[in-house]
Amino acid sequence: MDKQDNPYAAPETDISSQSAVDEMSEVEQIRHQYLRHEAAVRSIGWLYYLLAALPASGALAGLAFTFSEGPGSLVFVAIFGSVAAMFAGLGTGLRRLSPWVRTPVMLLSIAGMTGFPIGTIICGWILSLVATKKGEFVFSAEYREIIRQTPHMQCKITLISVFGMILLALIVLGALLSILRFAMTQVTGG
């Protein structure tokens, strides 16, 4: 029996991903090449939103304390509110791949690398995403035009990224709650 006569034979079709990439336009190939990097940069934006939520909740707690005990913690509220607004703005800039966000994120990452070992690892990863040639291109006007031309290509968040972000969120939450507890004891004198 010949292979062509066998109705149960597997089809002879090349389904390799390389052939799919070859059929893409030049713009699609560029987007495909940078898509993982883009997804990683955008995921950092969610981390910055998380970082904004924690001091914002501290500012709200300080505000509640101010109403119940007096205006002694207004400076605390202003500082935590400003930090929350800064992180929220940086998160939005990262999610939108705004070019202005690279410099402050790089500076914060360099400062955060002093927090050995977790800060060094996380901030080093963020710095490697934002400060490299790939990062520079992902934040460029040329890449934004490529994104506009390829709306059918979307970033996909991997399962390992989700678990990493949850772990990171728990670490950051623990650290910021410790800072908040210390700050509140300083304000209340307890």
Q: What is the pLDDT of residue 146?
A: 93
Query: Phi and psi dihedrals of 102, rounded to 5?
Result: -60, -50
Place of tokens 């052939």: 19
Does the residue 138 lie in any domain? yes
Does the residue 14 lie in any domain? no
pLDDT tens for 38-56 read: 988 998 898 898 888 888 8
Q: Is the pTM of this model over 0.75?
A: no
Does the residue 106 lie in any domain? yes
Q: What is the pLDDT of residue 63?
A: 79
Does the residue 4 lie in any domain? no
Q: For residue 178, what are the domain limits?
A: 27-188
Are 173 and 54 in contact by the 8 Å Cβ rule? The answer is: yes
Q: What is the pLDDT of residue 161?
A: 64
pLDDT-wise least confident of 60-69, 79-88, 168-177:
168-177
Does the residue 128 lie in any domain? yes
Are 57 and 76 in contact by the 8 Å Cβ rule? The answer is: no
Does the residue 94 lie in any domain? yes
Give the residue with greater pLDDT, 86 vs 65: 86
pLDDT tens for 100-122 read: 999 999 999 999 888 888 788 88
Q: Is 60 exceeded by the pLDDT of residue 140?
A: yes
153 pLDDT band (50/70/90 cuts)?
confident
Q: What is the pLDDT of residue 141?
A: 94
In Å, how far are 4, 53, 158 from 88, measured between CA atoms? Answer: 61, 8, 23
Query: Phi and psi dihedrals of 187, rounded to 5?
Result: -70, -40
Q: Indicate left, alpha or beta for 156 from its phi (over 0: left) and psi (-120 to 50: alpha).
A: beta
H or E element that contains 12: none
What domain count does the chain have? 1
Q: What is the pLDDT of residue 54?
A: 80
Q: Is 80 exceeded by the pLDDT of residue 90?
A: yes
137 pLDDT band (50/70/90 cuts)?
very high
State the chain's mean pLDDT as an integer. 81
Does the residue 153 lie in any domain? yes
Does the residue 11 lie in any domain? no
Give the residue with greater pLDDT, 138 vs 163: 138
Task: Give the mean pLDDT of 82-86.
Answer: 94
